[in-house]
Structure 1
Amino acid sequence: MGRRTRWAAALTAAGLLAFAAPTVGAQAVSASQRIDLKVLVVDDGGPSVAAIVNELDLTGTPYTRVVLSDPKRPTITAAFLSGTDSLGRAEAKYQAVVLPNNAPFPAGSAEMAAIVGYEQTFGIRQVDAYTYAQPAVGLNWASNPGYIGALDGMDGQVTTAGLSGPFRYLKGSVPFENNDPNVVESYGYLATPLAAQAAGATFTPLVTMPIPGAGGTQGVLAGEYDHNGVSEMVLTFAYNQYQQQYRLLARGIVDWMTQGVHIGFDRNYFEQDIDDVFLPDDRWSSTAKCTPGDAASACKGTPAASEIRMSPADVAYAKQWEQAHNFTFDFFFNGGGSDDATQNGTVDDPLTDALLADKTSFRWVNHTYDHPFLGCVQNTATVPWSCTTSATGATEWVSQQTIETAITQNVQWAEKRGISIDPTELVTGEHSGLKTLPQQPVDNPGLAPALAAAGVKWTGSDHSREPQQRAVGSALTVPRYPMSVYYNAGKVADEVDEYNWLYTATAQGGSGICTANPATTTCLPAPLDETTGYADYVVPLEARIDMGHILGDDPDPHYAHQSNLAEDRILYPVLDTLLSDYGNLMAADAPIVNLRESAIGTELQQRSAWQNAVSSGRVTAYRVGNVVTLQAPAGVKIPVTMPTGTTQTLLLGTRAVGTSYAGELSGWMSPGSLQSAVTLRLASAAMPIVPPMRGPVKVNAAHVAPAAITPKQLASVAKKVPLTPAGVAKLPHTAG
């Protein structure tokens, strides 16, 4: 029995085909029905469902997960899906349904019948996370014309309907990753919609891809199939949560299934920190393969090379670049570097003069006065360094007073020179004071009280060591991503030499670190060319990594150093590639959001509070007609995404909902004065139209799929595939 036949049989068994169901859609959803703002996820353990769950987690959208393999899972029945609330209103407990495919239950399943009846009754949409192209979902078989196989390196395209609908925030291109040409990373079924759909049914392609060898005929990757009072988003390709092609579509998938009204919101964030401004940075030695002058380096006895420090021309270029790209750098400054260069104001320092003359062009953040190490007292006689201990074996710590002075002295230095800063923001030198494994497994005990005394609320941490925000006394960390643009490199040749040292085997002249740590580091097949290796490999690789953070709703900042804006200005090619690629993919109404440290810290703090409220069951969110009601514990802000025109109802008057982004309104909401809940009023009660159910399901025997047909699942698609040198070579914007 084919899937469509089984579906009809299940409906008949449940008594749902004995009469024509009521019309659903915009006209049929009763203004008295309550729709709870939560998503039902039916999980088969595959990567596609996991990817959608990941997007719900990232955005803060509540969901209930039913794992099919769990013997203790609840049975999906009409009572599980709907009921009656305390006011006697019909209540839909879920605003959308995610299924692993179009029919994940056995033939004649009462659970599938319950889901279909529920969707018809309340106008609920369904996402088929990954399904076979077949007539049961409004598509022809993937043959004549059609394609079944790997999609790596191919390009999808959002259709006109997709660009005016759920994927309005994209420009149109959806390139598929090909990180490793030796691994199948994505697999799918390209087919065309049925020329003759069942009575009343329609199929609208949303994302397509040219079918190989079919003369430009487009096959469907994503489409909307409306039939018999049910609306499905059909996805015919496998993906995981890390892949760029999925990340580009994730926002639209959630927006489509929730019909543009949901808890949670998504932004594309990127912030660029520039550390050590005013200071010089030590230079990598290509002969000694270390960094002379760095106390933690193995370069004992090697004469220090000339240090790297920005020039006035570099300041002018930074300002010009910002203006050209509508982007602002965050300069993490050390006033002591200026005082050293000016000999405490007795001689002129052209760099200080240039930075102060253009001080309003940049955002400024405290990086301590003279960049001291603020953790344990370092013993640099050992390699790597170790913590100095007392005669009794106790760790010796940099004092609380030393930490506090390093912070406040820099604040005072900025105030005297009219540099505007937020004194609650800080990044210590090398993120020191925070635990640093393996040498220093705990924070300096003096750090938390010093931060409190100095009024610091936000302090940067290294994302590679501590990816999650945490408390340090009364302050919170802001994890920062390190970049593969090294602090000790101002010239391309030095950057490539150090990169080769880190990522090649000893037999190729490298350090062998990659050989010794295969689980975390991949060796290059051969050293990069000193002249072309940076542009051809390091730049596109770093840009792709950073793009993953942007598309992953990740506000955590990235950091480089002032040395990277000097000499060969090696940071700019990465940023140019990143912003160019972003501009080629995203529409103008979905710009990069560039927050400063305190705003990022606040965003992370609000996300944590919201997730705690959701996981503890202390959130109420539902829609009745054009009114949305939201309630959370006192002090917890609620993330929302709403259609344009939505307003918040106050005791007196109204106010705007969030800000406009990607064609919608979104942001964090709180109750108004003397209110305990957030009440939002949509501009219209109408929901996107689901074609009405006109009667019993009609089955065209010629279009019935074979029984138990399921899409192919590849283990290689289920995991993140690292970007290999061969994959980097295929990326756009790679210099030839």
Structure 2
Amino acid sequence: MTTPAVTEPPSIKTLATATLAVLKRKTVLPLLTLSLVLSACSQASIPAPAAVDPDVGSSTHGSGEAHTHDLHPALPGLPLTELPTNARLSPTTLTVPQGTRLSAQALPSNAQTNKVALKVLVLSSGPTDFGIGAARAMLDQAGVPFDVLDATTTPLTPETLIASDGVGKYQGVILTDSALTFQSSPGFYSSALDTTEWATLFQYEKAYQVRQLALYGAPNTVPEDYGLRLVPGAEFATGNLNVTAAGKVAFKDLTGNAVPLRYAYTYGTRTLAVAGVTTQPLLTDDAGNVLAATSTLDGRERLILTSAQNPYLLHTQVLGYGLVQWLTKGVHLGEHRRFLQVDIDDWFLNGDEFDPATGGLRAQSFRLSASDALSARDQQRALDGAYNVVNHFEFAVMFNGGGATPSSLSTCNPQLYGSLIKDALSSVSRCMAYDFDWVNHTRNHLRMDVMDLPTSTTAIAGNFSIGTQLGLQISRKSLVTGEHSGLGYMDPTDDGTNNDGGFSQPKQDLGLGRSNPNLITAAVNSGVHYLASNRSVASEWDASCPTCGVFHPMDPSILLIPLYPNSIHYHVTTPEEATASYNKLYAPGGVVPYWDHAFNYTELLDVDSTQGVGHLFEGTAWPTYMHQTNLRQYAPGKSLAGDWVKAVVEKYARYSTLPLNTLRWDDLGAYVERHTLEEKAKAANAYTAIWNRTTSTVRLNRVGSAVPVTLTGFWGGTFYGAYEAWPLNVSGAVDVYVRTR
């Protein structure tokens, strides 16, 4: 099967032509160069071209009309012919510029080598640096604060690394490649650090016991020796990363299963006995060649990877958590957690159903049956029991009370009561009031981009009222509007006269400033604090903090929680319908032809679950939204939604042991709110965190009102995997005990 491209791919990176400000006498050293191009895809983190499918209409259960949507297929990533599958390190010599000194300057007289700030330094080789995205992603996902130094423009000096009071500024150092290589002139490659700067860095790492992570390298002896040597002819871009016994110790979250590596140029190496160097392989290829290793030299601890890294690649996603924990010794600000959140929209409504024979819609609409709903409950229970990584999974059900019959008898056996059952779905929903997280999806799913206050209030408060009548356990502070409407992603000509029908012009991202103030007012008046937004719309998520929610500019008491779509379309109920709809978009002859053949259901699940797996590894709490049509029990105990979740979890559990948390929407909102405040406080340098390794304490110091802080490594904290963490509210100076792992 052809491998897909990333839905939101990074651009192909090429080496820029740049010149060091001052190149002293040049010393030509052995082979070490930089990747010209990075992969934009991987086996298990490359989403298929996902359809963004906003809802465009609705009806109540009694109207007989189908609740409908509109499919807006996202353009695929890079054309398959342009994927950099053969990217490699350029076979040329590397020059390390001669510095002004023969060695590093002496440490300052007040050096406090037992103390370091809880922050990481990322050393970059310039604006076209291939590894900076991976470094940023893994640190962002863990909540670790960091600085980036572009070594092609900014000198690295002792003052860069050591504060005026002698405290180390950084607890760890990441090299985006092991020699910080860039093309200083056509065909000529140079290290962005000169010999003095390398010596300064190495001295700091030794004195302050700071670990160094090289995200990519073809290890030899430049600028230092890792005890590894290239194996000629052992390069590859498709293979496996096999975890050694030492690798399982370093990457405490991994299962030990081989991790597929796809579309990332990789160098096979072998260990070589080098005086003063101790090398420990962590990952190997199928031939036993070393692909990652820790090593020590002169008291310094280092870890090097010989594969190109990219945040969209599976191996980077799988290894990222363990790399950060190794680098920080398990003590750092922030925490990394993973979530399994799946929303089911449009419960109680009729919906369109795709007809594979015609490529259009069936004349008869679809609405969940009582047996479909009961099966959904049983499917989530089965998933929860089948995988150790799943922690109390349940669907979040976005309900539209306008399609319900609140007076219907509460029972999970409606067939026993005959004519006493007014609506079987309403009856079993009442019976399963505590089996799902029930979330307000508005009364009738009207589009709320241009809607008056009374109608908005009825849509929101009225649905809460119906949910109460049904006896549902509702997340009272949460709301998902139909189409995620009302937030400025809209038809700019919409005048609000057709809120239950299609829109005239394609939707545009007009920004949150064009949100409907009546929606915001009605939501606040109804007790809503957490409002779903569309992760596919630029203004509705925070690119500067990918794990943060967005406080709405019209009323910051409303926090936006971004949601992901997937490619199980809103109007499909069976595998046949799902594949036919997907192929209508992306198979040869489709709307946006992308694949070289039409997919079967197994291929569709395999490809689209890769996107879900990638989202799990990101550490974001964002739900993926699906639809009531996707819960049809097309075979005993089987539904499209259940198949998709199982496929995602099965892939995840193959590689990681970290638990997947599922939170009710109100709890999810509260978690994201605190996390967002915490990340913003870190970004604003609102407090300091200094680790005293002699006393095994971290001093947190905040001048002003309390701010939320989470500390991984907190002694006595709550364990997540092998590492413990604890949330605090800090004002003034607080000393807490930590321990390394």
Q: TM-score, normalised by structure 1?
A: 0.73
- Change in 2 beyond 3 A, CA 1:678/1:242: farther
Q: Deviations over 1:320-366 (max 9, x none)?
A: 22222222111111222122996999852222222222222211111
Residue 673 (structure 2) aligns with = 605
1:451 matches 2:523: yes
- CA–CA distance in 2 between the matches of 1:286 and 1:176? 35
**Taking structure 1 as reference, are residues 198 and 223 closer, same or farther at Cα in structure 2, changes over 3 Å only?**
same
On the 8 A contact 1:10/1:113 being kept in 2, the answer is: no
- CA contact 1:485–1:495 (8 Å) conserved in 2: yes
Of 670, 682, 701 in structure 1, the residue corresponding to residue 729 of structure 2 is 670
How far 1:228 sits from its partner (Å)? 0.9
TM-superposed deviation, 1:226: 0.5
CA–CA distance in structure 2, aligned partners of residues 32 and 95 of structure 1? 11
* Aligned counterpart, 2:378: 320
Aligned partners of 1:31 and 1:108: how far apart in 2? Answer: 26
Pick aligned residue for 2:662 from 565, 583, 594: 594
- The structure 1 residue matched to 2:249, chosen from 146, 164, 180, is 164
Instruction: Within 5 Å, give how 1:211-250 maps onto structure 2.
Output: 211=287, 218-250=288-320
Distance 1:50 1:133 in 2: 21
Say whether residues 1:525 and 2:593 are aligned partners: no
Q: Structure 1's 8 and 464: CA in aligned 2 closer, same or farther, altered over 3 A?
A: closer
2:682 aligned counterpart, secondary structure: helix
Is the 2:124–2:175 Cα contact (8 Å) retained in structure 1? yes
Moved more, 130-139 or 571-580: 130-139
241, 256, 265: which one pairs with 2:326?
256
Looking at structure 2, the residues matched to 287 and 321 of structure 1 have their Cα atoms a distance apart, in angstroms, of: 29
What root-mean-square deviation, in Å, do the aligned CA atoms of Structure 1 and Structure 2 show?
A: 3.0
Query: 1:177 Cα deviation (Å)?
Result: 4.3
Aligned to 1:69: 152
Q: Which amino acid aligns with 1:206?
A: L
For 1:284, the aligned partner's letter is F
CA contact (8 A) 1:308 1:566 kept: no
Determine the structure 1 residue equivalent to 2:469.
Answer: 416
Q: How far apart, in 1, do the equivalents of 2:274 and 2:156 lie?
A: 29
Count of residue correspondences: 582
In structure 2, C-alpha distance between the alignment counterparts of 1:553 and 1:160, rounded to whole Å: 26
State the alpha-carbon separation in 1 of the partners of residues 226 and 213 from structure 2.
Answer: 14
Letter in 1 for 2:368: M
> Match for 1:42 among 113, 117, 123?
123
Structure 1 gaps, min length 5 = 22-29, 179-184, 212-217, 292-303, 377-397, 515-521, 648-655, 689-736
Q: Aligned letter for 2:428?
A: A
C-alpha offsets along residues 69-96 of structure 1, whole Å, 9 cap, x if unaligned?
22xx2x22223322452xxxx4111111
- Following TM superposition, by how much is the alpha carbon of 1:502 offset from its aligned partner in structure 2, in angstroms? 2.2
Matched residue type, 2:602: A
Alignment check: 8 A CA contact 2:241 2:261 kept = no
**Could you say if the C-alpha distance between residues 62 and 192 of structure 1 is closer, same or farther in structure 2, counting changes exceeding 3 Å?**
same
Distance 1:320 1:367 in 2: 23
- State the AA in 1 paired with 2:442: T
Q: Note the 1:204-353 alignment, pairs <5 A.
A: 204-211=280-287, 218-286=288-356, 289-291=359-361, 305-326=363-384, 327-339=393-405, 347-353=421-427
Looking at structure 1, the residues matched to 100 and 383 of structure 2 have their Cα atoms a distance apart, in angstroms, of 57
Amino acid at match of 1:558: T
Distance 1:190 1:526, change over 3 A: closer
1:622 and 1:593, CA in 2 relative to 1: closer, same or farther beyond 3 A? Answer: same
Quick one: which of 695, 710, 722 aligns to 1:639?
Answer: 710
* Structure 2: distance between partners of 1:221 and 1:169: 19
2:565 alignment counterpart: 482
Q: State how far apart, in whole Å, the 2-side matches of 1:106 and 1:273 are.
A: 48
User: What secondary structure sits across from 2:661 in the alignment?
Assistant: coil
Question: Residue 559 of structure 2: SS of its match in structure 1?
Answer: strand
Looking at structure 1, the residues matched to 446 and 420 of structure 2 have their Cα atoms a distance apart, in angstroms, of 24
Q: Give the superposition deviation at 1:679.
A: 2.7
SS at match of 2:562: strand
Unaligned runs of at least 5 residues, structure 2? 1-27, 32-93, 181-190, 385-392, 411-418, 495-509, 543-548
Whether the 8 Å contact between 1:174 and 1:245 is mirrored in structure 2 is no
8 A Cα contact 1:97 1:125, kept in partner: yes
Distance 1:402 1:100 in 2: 54
Give the CA deviation at 1:665.
1.0
Contact 1:41 1:64 in 2 (8 A): yes
Q: Secondary structure at the match of 1:563?
A: helix
The answer on whether the counterparts of 1:43 and 1:99 sit within 8 Å (CA) in structure 2 is yes
- C-alpha distance in 2, partners of 1:288/1:373? 29
Equivalent in the alignment of 1:434: 487
Name the amino acid aligned to 1:169. D
Deviating beyond 6 angstroms after TM superposition, the runs of 4 or more aligned structure 1 residues are: 3-12, 343-346
Q: Which residue of 2 aligns with 1:698?
A: none
Whole-Å separation in 2 of the counterparts to 1:410 and 1:502: 35
How big is the shift at 1:580? Answer: 1.0
Aligned to 2:533: 461
Query: Residue 601 of structure 2: which of 534, 558, 563 is its match?
Result: 534
Question: Residues 598 and 15 of structure 1: is their aligned pair in 2 closer, same or farther, counting only changes over 3 Å?
Answer: closer
Amino acid at match of 2:254: L
Instruction: Determine the structure 2 residue equivalent to 1:155.
Output: 240
Aligned to 2:437: 363
Match of 1:551 among 617, 636, 660: 617
- Structure with max Cα Rg: 1
Alignment match, 1:703: none
1:126 CA drift (Å): 0.9
* Partner Cα distance (2:406, 2:582) in 1: 31
1:141 paired with 2:229, answer yes
2: CA distance, partners of 1:276 / 1:101: 48
Contact 2:217–2:304 (Cα < 8 Å) also in 1: yes
Letter in 2 for 1:565: L
CA distance in 2: counterparts of 1:9 and 1:501, whole angstroms: 60
Closer, same or farther in 2 for the Cα pair 1:112/1:32, shift >3 Å? closer
Deviates more, 1:415-424 or 1:400-409: 415-424
Question: Would you say the 8 A contact 1:669–1:678 is kept in 2?
Answer: no
The DSSP-based 3-state class of the residue aligned with 1:482 is coil
Identical columns (%)? 26
| Equivalent in 153, 161, 168 of residue 92 of structure 1 | 168
SS at match of 1:638: strand
Read off the aligned partner of 2:423 and give its amino acid letter.
Answer: D
Cα drift, residue 412 of structure 1: 1.7
TM-superposed deviation, 1:541: 1.3
Q: Is the 8 A contact 2:437 2:475 kept in 1?
A: no
Matched, 1:566 2:632: yes
Cα distance change on mapping 1:15 and 1:139 into 2, 3 Å: closer
**Take 1:193 and 1:281, find their aligned partners in 2: how far apart are those partners?**
61
Corresponding residue for residue 399 of structure 1: 452
Amino acid across the alignment from 2:229: W
User: Once the 2 structures are TM-superposed, how far is the Cα of residue 287 of structure 1 from its aligned partner?
Assistant: 5.7
**Structure-1 separation of matches of 2:227 and 2:299:** 18
Verify the 8 A CA contact 2:162 2:168 in the aligned structure 1: yes
Residues 631-674 of structure 1: CA deviation (Å, up to 9, x unaligned): 356343123211xxx34xxxxxxxx53x2112001253223xxx
Change in CA separation of 1:400 and 1:677 when aligned onto 2, cut-off 3 Å? farther
* 1:155 CA drift (Å): 1.2
CA distance in 1, matches of 2:487, 2:159: 51
Assess, with a 3 A threshold, how the Cα gap between structure 1 residues 443 and 282 changes in structure 2: closer, same or farther.
Answer: same
